[in-house]
Amino acid sequence: MDWITGLQRAIDYVEDHLTEELDYMEIAVQAASSSFHFQRVFGILCGCTLGEYIRNRRLTLAGGELAATDMKVLDAALKYGYDSPESFCRAFTKFHGITPSAAKAGGAGLRSFSRLSIKLVLEGGTMMNYRIEKHDTLKILAKTWMLDGKKEHLQKDISELWAKCAKDGTMALLAKGMAPKVIFGMAGICLDNPQEGEFVYAIGREYTGGEVPKGLTVVELPAADWVAFSEEGRMPDAFDGLWKRIYTEFFPASSYEPANGPTIEVYPDDDVYREDYRFEIWMAVKKKK
Protein backbone atom coordinates (compact mmCIF):
# COMPACT_ATOMS: atom_id res chain seq x y z
CA MET A 1 0.00 0.00 0.00
CA ASP A 2 1.40 3.42 -0.92
CA TRP A 3 1.57 6.05 1.80
CA ILE A 4 -1.01 8.42 0.30
CA THR A 5 -3.59 5.62 0.07
CA GLY A 6 -2.75 4.47 3.59
CA LEU A 7 -3.05 7.97 5.03
CA GLN A 8 -6.46 8.44 3.44
CA ARG A 9 -7.60 5.07 4.77
CA ALA A 10 -6.54 6.12 8.26
CA ILE A 11 -8.40 9.44 7.98
CA ASP A 12 -11.52 7.65 6.73
CA TYR A 13 -11.28 5.28 9.68
CA VAL A 14 -11.10 8.23 12.10
CA GLU A 15 -14.13 9.85 10.48
CA ASP A 16 -16.13 6.62 10.67
CA HIS A 17 -15.40 6.27 14.39
CA LEU A 18 -15.44 9.86 15.69
CA THR A 19 -18.14 9.08 18.25
CA GLU A 20 -16.25 6.04 19.55
CA GLU A 21 -13.04 5.66 21.56
CA LEU A 22 -10.23 5.84 19.03
CA ASP A 23 -7.10 3.74 19.43
CA TYR A 24 -4.10 5.46 17.83
CA MET A 25 -2.47 2.11 17.15
CA GLU A 26 -5.53 0.93 15.23
CA ILE A 27 -5.56 4.18 13.24
CA ALA A 28 -1.93 3.62 12.29
CA VAL A 29 -2.69 0.03 11.24
CA GLN A 30 -4.95 1.43 8.51
CA ALA A 31 -1.85 3.02 6.99
CA ALA A 32 0.29 -0.10 7.60
CA SER A 33 2.41 1.94 9.99
CA SER A 34 3.39 2.13 13.64
CA SER A 35 1.67 4.64 15.92
CA PHE A 36 4.67 6.93 16.41
CA HIS A 37 5.74 6.96 12.78
CA PHE A 38 2.19 7.58 11.58
CA GLN A 39 1.66 10.48 13.97
CA ARG A 40 4.95 12.10 13.05
CA VAL A 41 4.28 11.99 9.30
CA PHE A 42 0.61 12.94 9.77
CA GLY A 43 1.65 16.10 11.60
CA ILE A 44 4.23 17.05 8.96
CA LEU A 45 1.92 16.46 6.00
CA CYS A 46 -1.35 17.71 7.49
CA GLY A 47 -0.20 20.64 9.59
CA CYS A 48 -1.78 19.48 12.84
CA THR A 49 -1.34 16.54 15.19
CA LEU A 50 -3.63 13.54 14.97
CA GLY A 51 -5.09 14.43 18.37
CA GLU A 52 -5.80 18.00 17.25
CA TYR A 53 -7.51 16.72 14.11
CA ILE A 54 -9.75 14.37 16.10
CA ARG A 55 -10.68 17.06 18.65
CA ASN A 56 -11.38 19.68 16.00
CA ARG A 57 -13.57 17.34 13.98
CA ARG A 58 -15.52 16.21 17.05
CA LEU A 59 -16.10 19.79 18.21
CA THR A 60 -17.19 20.77 14.70
CA LEU A 61 -19.80 18.00 14.64
CA ALA A 62 -20.87 18.72 18.21
CA GLY A 63 -21.48 22.39 17.39
CA GLY A 64 -23.60 21.59 14.39
CA GLU A 65 -25.62 19.00 16.30
CA LEU A 66 -26.29 21.26 19.28
CA ALA A 67 -27.41 24.10 17.01
CA ALA A 68 -29.65 21.96 14.79
CA THR A 69 -31.23 19.50 17.25
CA ASP A 70 -32.58 19.32 20.78
CA MET A 71 -29.54 17.35 21.99
CA LYS A 72 -28.56 18.10 25.58
CA VAL A 73 -25.09 19.39 26.38
CA LEU A 74 -24.40 16.35 28.58
CA ASP A 75 -25.33 13.98 25.76
CA ALA A 76 -23.10 15.86 23.32
CA ALA A 77 -20.20 15.71 25.77
CA LEU A 78 -20.52 11.94 26.17
CA LYS A 79 -21.09 11.32 22.46
CA TYR A 80 -17.93 13.16 21.46
CA GLY A 81 -15.59 11.65 24.00
CA TYR A 82 -15.59 13.98 27.02
CA ASP A 83 -15.72 12.73 30.58
CA SER A 84 -17.79 15.63 31.91
CA PRO A 85 -19.89 18.58 30.72
CA GLU A 86 -17.28 20.90 32.27
CA SER A 87 -14.38 19.60 30.19
CA PHE A 88 -16.58 19.59 27.09
CA CYS A 89 -17.67 23.18 27.76
CA ARG A 90 -14.06 24.36 28.10
CA ALA A 91 -12.98 22.70 24.87
CA PHE A 92 -16.11 23.80 23.02
CA THR A 93 -15.74 27.43 24.10
CA LYS A 94 -12.05 27.50 23.19
CA PHE A 95 -12.79 26.10 19.72
CA HIS A 96 -16.03 27.92 18.81
CA GLY A 97 -15.66 31.08 20.88
CA ILE A 98 -19.09 30.52 22.47
CA THR A 99 -20.48 28.11 25.07
CA PRO A 100 -22.49 25.00 24.17
CA SER A 101 -25.57 26.68 25.69
CA ALA A 102 -25.13 29.66 23.39
CA ALA A 103 -24.88 27.31 20.43
CA LYS A 104 -28.14 25.65 21.45
CA ALA A 105 -29.87 29.03 21.69
CA GLY A 106 -29.38 29.53 17.96
CA GLY A 107 -28.17 32.43 15.89
CA ALA A 108 -24.59 32.35 17.17
CA GLY A 109 -21.59 31.88 14.91
CA LEU A 110 -19.84 28.52 14.94
CA ARG A 111 -16.52 27.37 13.56
CA SER A 112 -15.97 24.41 11.27
CA PHE A 113 -12.88 22.27 10.81
CA SER A 114 -13.33 20.39 7.53
CA ARG A 115 -12.64 16.74 6.89
CA LEU A 116 -9.24 16.02 5.37
CA SER A 117 -9.03 14.61 1.88
CA ILE A 118 -5.55 13.69 0.70
CA LYS A 119 -4.70 14.65 -2.85
CA LEU A 120 -1.31 14.20 -4.46
CA VAL A 121 -0.24 17.31 -6.32
CA LEU A 122 2.76 16.66 -8.52
CA GLU A 123 5.28 19.48 -8.63
CA GLY A 124 8.33 19.12 -10.84
CA GLY A 125 11.62 20.93 -11.06
CA THR A 126 13.04 20.06 -7.64
CA MET A 127 16.03 17.89 -6.81
CA MET A 128 16.41 15.38 -3.97
CA ASN A 129 19.79 14.06 -2.91
CA TYR A 130 19.70 10.41 -1.88
CA ARG A 131 21.62 7.18 -2.09
CA ILE A 132 20.80 3.52 -1.56
CA GLU A 133 22.65 1.80 1.29
CA LYS A 134 22.54 -1.98 1.86
CA HIS A 135 23.79 -3.12 5.26
CA ASP A 136 23.78 -6.22 7.39
CA THR A 137 23.13 -5.74 11.11
CA LEU A 138 24.32 -2.34 12.29
CA LYS A 139 25.49 -1.98 15.88
CA ILE A 140 24.88 1.32 17.67
CA LEU A 141 26.41 2.46 20.96
CA ALA A 142 23.60 4.46 22.47
CA LYS A 143 21.59 5.88 25.31
CA THR A 144 18.04 4.57 24.99
CA TRP A 145 14.56 5.40 26.27
CA MET A 146 11.18 3.69 25.92
CA LEU A 147 8.68 6.33 24.81
CA ASP A 148 4.92 6.35 24.39
CA GLY A 149 4.19 6.39 20.66
CA LYS A 150 0.65 7.64 21.28
CA LYS A 151 1.73 10.83 23.03
CA GLU A 152 1.13 14.13 21.26
CA HIS A 153 3.95 16.62 20.66
CA LEU A 154 6.49 13.85 21.19
CA GLN A 155 9.11 15.68 19.15
CA LYS A 156 9.40 18.24 21.95
CA ASP A 157 10.25 15.45 24.41
CA ILE A 158 12.89 14.10 22.03
CA SER A 159 14.48 17.54 21.69
CA GLU A 160 14.67 17.72 25.48
CA LEU A 161 16.45 14.35 25.58
CA TRP A 162 19.15 15.70 23.26
CA ALA A 163 19.55 18.79 25.42
CA LYS A 164 19.82 16.63 28.54
CA CYS A 165 22.47 14.39 26.96
CA ALA A 166 24.52 17.42 25.99
CA LYS A 167 24.31 18.78 29.53
CA ASP A 168 24.98 15.60 31.54
CA GLY A 169 28.02 14.47 29.56
CA THR A 170 26.37 11.65 27.60
CA MET A 171 27.23 13.23 24.25
CA ALA A 172 30.88 13.56 25.21
CA LEU A 173 30.90 9.93 26.38
CA LEU A 174 29.42 8.79 23.07
CA ALA A 175 31.88 10.86 21.05
CA LYS A 176 34.87 9.42 22.94
CA GLY A 177 36.55 6.71 20.91
CA MET A 178 34.45 7.28 17.78
CA ALA A 179 36.23 5.86 14.75
CA PRO A 180 37.35 8.46 12.18
CA LYS A 181 35.63 6.62 9.33
CA VAL A 182 32.11 5.44 9.98
CA ILE A 183 28.98 4.83 7.92
CA PHE A 184 27.28 7.65 9.78
CA GLY A 185 28.06 9.71 12.89
CA MET A 186 25.93 10.86 15.80
CA ALA A 187 22.27 10.04 15.23
CA GLY A 188 18.80 9.80 16.67
CA ILE A 189 17.22 6.41 15.98
CA CYS A 190 13.59 5.31 16.27
CA LEU A 191 12.93 1.59 16.69
CA ASP A 192 9.21 0.92 16.59
CA ASN A 193 7.35 -1.59 18.71
CA PRO A 194 3.89 -1.42 17.09
CA GLN A 195 2.41 -4.23 19.17
CA GLU A 196 2.75 -2.22 22.38
CA GLY A 197 2.25 1.33 21.08
CA GLU A 198 5.70 2.19 22.41
CA PHE A 199 9.03 2.60 20.70
CA VAL A 200 12.67 2.76 21.61
CA TYR A 201 14.39 6.07 20.95
CA ALA A 202 18.18 6.01 20.91
CA ILE A 203 20.82 8.70 20.73
CA GLY A 204 24.10 7.17 19.65
CA ARG A 205 26.71 6.38 17.05
CA GLU A 206 28.10 3.30 15.38
CA TYR A 207 29.66 0.77 17.74
CA THR A 208 33.04 -0.39 16.55
CA GLY A 209 33.95 -2.59 19.51
CA GLY A 210 35.47 -2.18 22.93
CA GLU A 211 34.08 -1.66 26.41
CA VAL A 212 30.53 -0.34 26.70
CA PRO A 213 30.50 2.61 29.14
CA LYS A 214 28.11 2.51 32.10
CA GLY A 215 24.69 3.90 31.21
CA LEU A 216 25.04 3.07 27.52
CA THR A 217 24.03 -0.02 25.59
CA VAL A 218 24.60 -1.60 22.19
CA VAL A 219 21.54 -1.60 19.95
CA GLU A 220 21.39 -3.82 16.89
CA LEU A 221 19.56 -2.61 13.80
CA PRO A 222 18.42 -5.47 11.55
CA ALA A 223 19.78 -5.95 8.06
CA ALA A 224 17.95 -3.65 5.67
CA ASP A 225 17.98 -1.69 2.48
CA TRP A 226 18.14 2.00 3.32
CA VAL A 227 17.50 5.18 1.44
CA ALA A 228 19.73 7.91 2.86
CA PHE A 229 18.43 11.41 2.08
CA SER A 230 20.75 14.37 2.55
CA GLU A 231 19.75 18.01 2.86
CA GLU A 232 21.06 21.27 4.21
CA GLY A 233 19.35 24.18 5.93
CA ARG A 234 18.46 25.66 9.25
CA MET A 235 16.74 23.32 11.72
CA PRO A 236 13.98 22.48 12.40
CA ASP A 237 12.39 23.89 9.22
CA ALA A 238 14.78 22.12 6.85
CA PHE A 239 14.25 18.85 8.74
CA ASP A 240 10.45 19.02 8.54
CA GLY A 241 10.67 20.09 4.91
CA LEU A 242 12.76 17.05 3.99
CA TRP A 243 10.38 14.68 5.76
CA LYS A 244 7.49 16.19 3.80
CA ARG A 245 9.29 15.87 0.47
CA ILE A 246 10.21 12.25 1.19
CA TYR A 247 6.52 11.34 1.41
CA THR A 248 5.07 13.70 -1.18
CA GLU A 249 7.80 13.54 -3.82
CA PHE A 250 10.14 10.58 -3.40
CA PHE A 251 7.88 7.68 -2.44
CA PRO A 252 5.06 8.42 -4.92
CA ALA A 253 7.54 8.55 -7.81
CA SER A 254 10.02 5.83 -6.81
CA SER A 255 9.96 2.04 -6.83
CA TYR A 256 10.41 1.97 -3.03
CA GLU A 257 8.05 2.26 -0.08
CA PRO A 258 8.67 2.46 3.70
CA ALA A 259 9.47 -0.89 5.29
CA ASN A 260 8.26 0.28 8.73
CA GLY A 261 11.68 -0.42 10.13
CA PRO A 262 13.98 1.90 12.06
CA THR A 263 14.61 5.47 10.99
CA ILE A 264 17.94 7.19 11.52
CA GLU A 265 18.44 10.94 11.71
CA VAL A 266 22.11 11.82 11.32
CA TYR A 267 23.44 15.05 12.85
CA PRO A 268 27.13 15.76 12.07
CA ASP A 269 27.44 18.46 14.77
CA ASP A 270 25.32 20.49 17.16
CA ASP A 271 25.35 23.80 15.25
CA VAL A 272 21.83 23.10 13.95
CA TYR A 273 20.85 26.74 13.35
CA ARG A 274 23.33 27.34 10.53
CA GLU A 275 21.74 28.05 7.16
CA ASP A 276 24.12 25.53 5.56
CA TYR A 277 23.71 22.82 8.24
CA ARG A 278 23.86 19.44 6.50
CA PHE A 279 22.05 16.39 7.87
CA GLU A 280 20.64 13.06 6.73
CA ILE A 281 17.51 10.97 7.20
CA TRP A 282 17.84 7.21 6.69
CA MET A 283 14.75 5.07 6.12
CA ALA A 284 14.46 1.31 5.84
CA VAL A 285 12.67 0.58 2.55
CA LYS A 286 11.38 -2.25 0.42
CA LYS A 287 10.47 -2.59 -3.23
CA LYS A 288 6.88 -1.84 -4.14
CA LYS A 289 4.88 -4.89 -5.16
Domains of the chain: 3-105 (1.10.10.60), 129-287 (3.20.80.10)
DSSP string for residues in 25-47:
HHHHHHTTS-HHHHHHHHHHHHS
* CB-based contacts of 288, cutoff 8 Å, min separation 6: 2, 255, 256, 257
Task: With cut-offs at 50, 70 and 90, classify the pLDDT of residue 75.
Answer: very high
Whole-angstrom CA distances from 72 to 80, 88, 104, 198 are 12, 12, 9, 38
Judged against a pLDDT cut of 80, whether residue 50 lies above it is answered with: yes
Beta-bridge partners for 264: 189, 282
CB 181 within 8 A of CB 9: no
Per-residue pLDDT tens digits for 210-267: 889 999 999 999 999 999 999 999 888 898 889 988 888 888 888 898 887 889 999 9
Per-residue pLDDT tens digits for 135-164: 999 999 999 998 887 777 677 888 899 999
Q: Residue range 173-178: average pLDDT? A: 82
Hey, is 131 helix, strand or coil?
strand
CA dihedral 26, 30, 33, 34 (to 10 degrees): -10
Whole-angstrom CA distances from 90 to 28, 55, 59, 257, 277 are 29, 12, 11, 42, 43
State the pLDDT at residue 5: 84
Per-residue pLDDT tens digits for 80-117: 999 999 999 999 999 999 999 999 987 778 999 999 98
Tell me the pTM. Answer: 0.81
CB 266 within 8 A of CB 186: yes
Top-confidence range, 15-24, 99-108, 184-193: 15-24
State the pLDDT at residue 125: 55
